[in-house]
């Protein structure tokens, strides 16, 4: 049950976005004073090559250690930290979770969200699973989340993993330029089916970088889908933000 959570996603933290990193770290400090729970719904990092990167010596590894230490400080101050894998950091593992004092959430997961006696079953997800019109990406997603594929990938040297991830990121950016925007957004039918199967009339996800509140009819009642904003304070205008629960109701942070 999440009684006083704040939700964020798609921070894409890396050394190349120092202002975004600084804002994220400040946000984590603010969270400790204002909320009892922090829920990160994927893509905390721009990429994560494996938990052994916590021992490596590149600028992005420094970012990883800095963020892990900030999350641990939150946890040590009594804030419950939950992290879901995104498409960019699907290799976050048990060592990361232990170092950060966080629990790894499955994707999707239903949590009771609210305050006092009023809670709402809420479907939480990164969101990429519901972009079903992008069939090439869905094939990649299945492969990237296959435990056997991950084990084989993590067995490669760290430098080789970085190079392969870099190639995949470059290819992904090229593909985004080719695809129509609606193909990269979630499919309404997939969202409705997921919420129906979960028994949830409320959903929170990220991934699409299209923040907002979407209300729609679902089996004779109103359903609400909240989309989290992505973060980028290194370009103008800056982007970012969160969702929080106010008097049992989800609202922009």
- Residue 32 is part of a domain; what is its CATH number? 3.60.21.10
DSSP string spanning 34-71?
H-SEEEEES-SBS----GGGGG--SHHHHHHHHHHHHH
Give the pLDDT confidence score for residue 98 in this predicted structure: 98
pLDDT at 245: 87
Per-position pLDDT tens, the chain of length 253: 888 899 999 999 999 999 999 999 999 999 988 889 999 999 999 999 999 999 999 999 999 999 999 999 999 999 999 999 999 999 999 999 999 999 999 999 999 998 667 789 999 999 999 999 999 899 999 999 999 999 999 999 999 999 999 998 888 777 766 666 666 799 999 999 999 999 999 999 999 999 999 999 999 999 999 999 999 999 999 999 999 988 778 899 8
> 183 in helix, strand or coil?
helix
What backbone phi and psi angles, to 5 degrees, belong to 109?
-150, 145
Block residue for tokens 């494996």? 50
In which domain, by residue range, is 44 found? 5-252
Decide if 84 contacts 10 (C-beta within 8 A).
no
Whether the CB-CB separation of 82 and 105 falls below 8 Å is answered with: yes
Domain count along the chain: 1
Find all residues with CB under 8 Å of 123, minimum gap 6, and list them: 108, 109, 110, 194, 195, 198, 200, 202, 203, 204
Query: Is the omega angle on the peptide bond into residue 117 within 30 degrees of 0, that is, cis?
Result: no
CA distance 39 to 115: 16
């Amino acid at each position: 049950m999440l009684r006083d959570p704040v939700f964020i996603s798609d921070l894409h933290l890396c050394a190349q976005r120092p202002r975004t990193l600084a804002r994220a770290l400040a946000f984590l400090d603010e969270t400790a004073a204002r909320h009892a729970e922090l829920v990160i719904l994927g893509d905390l990092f721009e990429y994560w090559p494996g938990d052994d990167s916590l021992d490596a010596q590149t600028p992005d590894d420094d970012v990883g250690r800095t963020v892990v230490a900030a999350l641990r400080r939150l946890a040590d101050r009594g804030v419950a930290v939950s992290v879901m894998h995104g498409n960019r950091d699907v290799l976050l593992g048990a060592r990361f979770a232990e170092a950060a004092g966080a629990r790894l959430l499955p994707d999707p997961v239903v949590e009771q969200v609210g305050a006092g006696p009023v809670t709402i079953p809420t479907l939480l997800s990164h969101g990429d699973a519901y972009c079903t019109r992008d069939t090439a990406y869905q094939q990649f997603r299945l492969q990237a989340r296959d435990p056997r594929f991950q084990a084989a990938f993590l067995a490669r040297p760290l430098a080789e993993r970085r190079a392969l991830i870099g190639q995949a990121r470059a290819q992904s950016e090229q593909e985004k330029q080719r695809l129509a925007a609606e193909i990269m957004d979630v499919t309404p039918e997939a969202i409705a089916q997921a919420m129906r199967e979960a028994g949830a009339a409320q959903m929170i996800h990220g991934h699409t970088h299209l923040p907002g509140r979407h209300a729609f009819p679902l089996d004779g009642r109103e359903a609400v889908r909240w989309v989290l904003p992505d973060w980028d304070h290194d370009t103008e205008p800056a982007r970012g933000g969160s969702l929080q629960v106010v008097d049992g109701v989800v609202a922009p942070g």
